[in-house]
Amino acid sequence: MQKKDISEAVIKRLPKYYRYLTDMENAGIQKISSKELSEKMSLNASQIRQDFNCFGGFGQQGYGYNVKSLRMQMANILGLIKPYNAVLVGAGNIGQAIINYTGFKKDGFNIVAAFDKNEKIIGTNVNGVPVYDISQIDDYIKQNKVDIAIIATPKERAQQIADIVTEAGVKSIWNFATVDLKLNEDVVVENVHLSDSLNVLLYKTSNDYKPL
Amino acid sequence: MQKKDISEAVIKRLPKYYRYLTDMENAGIQKISSKELSEKMSLNASQIRQDFNCFGGFGQQGYGYNVKSLRMQMANILGLIKPYNAVLVGAGNIGQAIINYTGFKKDGFNIVAAFDKNEKIIGTNVNGVPVYDISQIDDYIKQNKVDIAIIATPKERAQQIADIVTEAGVKSIWNFATVDLKLNEDVVVENVHLSDSLNVLLYKTSNDYKPL
């Protein structure tokens, strides 16, 4: 399977394919054509075929795709087959919501520890996840398998935390702090910038926005 | 000021400009050139000038931008000057985190009521926001000024909620449910799809991703 040189735009569509295929499999649908898939997903059928061709293509032209097999291959491409250990930094509102969001465990994504500087919550646990003192995070990462750090601290602290966890060896950051982290090239990051998202919505709300 | 035909890509950058300008104003910076701004934001200087030209341009070539005035104009473009009333549907983990996320109040964004079907939380309040029975939402929207509905329900319920709130007159949805809502053309939506974001991160983590 060829995975090189996949554009960011294609990558962003992969979870959407996976999501629709999961829903279809759960609904008992066994086969789907790229045309039917394109109608369901409001995407162009030729774009779907092009996207799939980035990964060598799936199924035969004119026969449609086997939903179950395509979903499995998509899960494989997305890297959902293997388990991931994540640590959470910042066990406040957003951090606790992330821990409690049950949707995550399904994909082999485990939050193994949380870290905070608030003495009131250090030593407690949130939905089974122990909360440790932030000063211990460097040791923790060096002594345990940690694939991902979730940063849910105030934005003023986020860069410092990113520096600590990446120096300790973490190569992957899910960043909820509203700040653009400066990271080495070998570190990957996905941002969830809630206030940016809200501001885009307010722009569209106030400007009588119509999609181009 | 010309606001028509602004592409989605430009719109997505506006909150980022606003964020950097706010940080700069707070740091006491009064003037900045597009070159300096481009270095701070890791954007191309000519792209910044092009983006600003979509709105008629700000400041004079060669003189740099006045940070305070540019931030004000950006706030105006984003529609942050006026107040917004929002209702939240689904006062679970994510919903409560949204209410508690103090960052939102600053921009005149007020969550005035929450709705849920869970009898244990109906009649309570979350950080001062009253939680009502979901069956009352249609009446509430018709009797109060509601600009935005935040949907933080399980995905199975999200489309139904979207139908109810838009029929009651809401034209703007901030959707946290992992589902693509089918909406009339006059309704704007911004999605925060946490599990899609995580899946993109897992893809990059597992595939030794390098930006193109």
Q: Tens digits of per-residue pLDDT, B1-57?
A: 445 578 888 999 999 999 999 999 999 999 998 889 999 998 998 899 889 888 877
Structure-token pair, residue A101: 């969001």
Cβ contact, residue pair A203, B14, below 8 Å: yes
Mean of the pLDDT values across residues A182-209?
A: 92
Cβ contact, residue pair B78, A203, below 8 Å: yes
Which pLDDT value is given to residue B2?
Answer: 42
Which pLDDT value is given to residue A1?
Answer: 41
Max distance between CA atoms of chain B, in angstroms, equals 62
At residue B78, what is the residue type? Answer: L
Residue A27 has pLDDT above 90, yes or no: yes
Rounded CA-CA distance A175/A177 in Å is 6
Which pLDDT value is given to residue A81?
Answer: 86
**Which residues have CB under 8 Å from A212's CB, separation 6+?**
B5, B7, B8
Which pLDDT value is given to residue A61?
Answer: 63
pLDDT digit string (tens) for A129-163?
A: 999 999 999 999 999 999 999 999 999 999 999 99
Quote the percentage of chain B above a pLDDT of 70: 91
Closest CA to A192 of B102, B150, B2, B196: B196
Cβ contact, residue pair B200, A12, below 8 Å: yes
Rounded CA-CA distance A99/A121 in Å is 14
- Inter-CA distances, A13 with A6, A10, A50, A75, A177, Å: 11, 5, 12, 13, 24
Residues from chain B that touch A204, judged by Cβ atoms under 8 A, are 11, 172, 188, 190
Structure-token pair, residue A38: 């394109």
A129: left (phi over 0), alpha (psi -120 to 50) or beta: beta
Cβ contact, residue pair A188, B198, below 8 Å: no
Cβ contact, residue pair B202, A80, below 8 Å: yes
Which pLDDT value is given to residue B212?
Answer: 53
**Which residues have CB under 8 Å from A116's CB, separation 6+?**
A89, A90, A91, A92, A95, A122, A131, A132, A133, A134
At B197, is the secondary structure helix, strand, or coil?
Answer: helix
Residue B141 has pLDDT above 60, yes or no: yes
pLDDT band of B151, cuts 50, 70, 90 = very high
Residues from chain B that touch A100, judged by Cβ atoms under 8 A, are 93
pLDDT band of B107, cuts 50, 70, 90 = low
Which pLDDT value is given to residue A58?
Answer: 75
Contact of B85 with chain A, judged by CB distance below 8 Å, is answered with no
Interface of B with A in 6-65 (CB under 8 A): 7-8, 11-12, 14-16, 18-19, 41-42
Q: Quick one: CA dihedral A98, A102, A103, A106, positive or negative?
A: positive
User: Which residue has tokens 């026969």?
Assistant: A63
Which pLDDT value is given to residue B58?
Answer: 75
Rounded CA-CA distance A96/A90 in Å is 8
Residues from chain A that touch B77, judged by Cβ atoms under 8 A, are 203
Contact between B93 and A97 under an 8 Å Cβ cutoff? The reply is: yes
Cβ contact, residue pair A194, B101, below 8 Å: yes
Q: How many CB pairs under 8 A join A and B?
A: 176
Instruction: B31-39: list long-range contacts, CB under 8 Å, 24+ apart.
Output: B31/B64, B31/B65, B31/B66, B31/B67, B32/B64, B32/B65, B32/B67, B33/B64, B33/B65, B34/B64, B34/B65, B36/B64, B37/B65
Mean of the pLDDT values across residues B111-130?
A: 96
- Chain A residue at shortest CA distance from B150: A198
Q: How far is B127 from chain A (nearest CA, A)?
A: 12
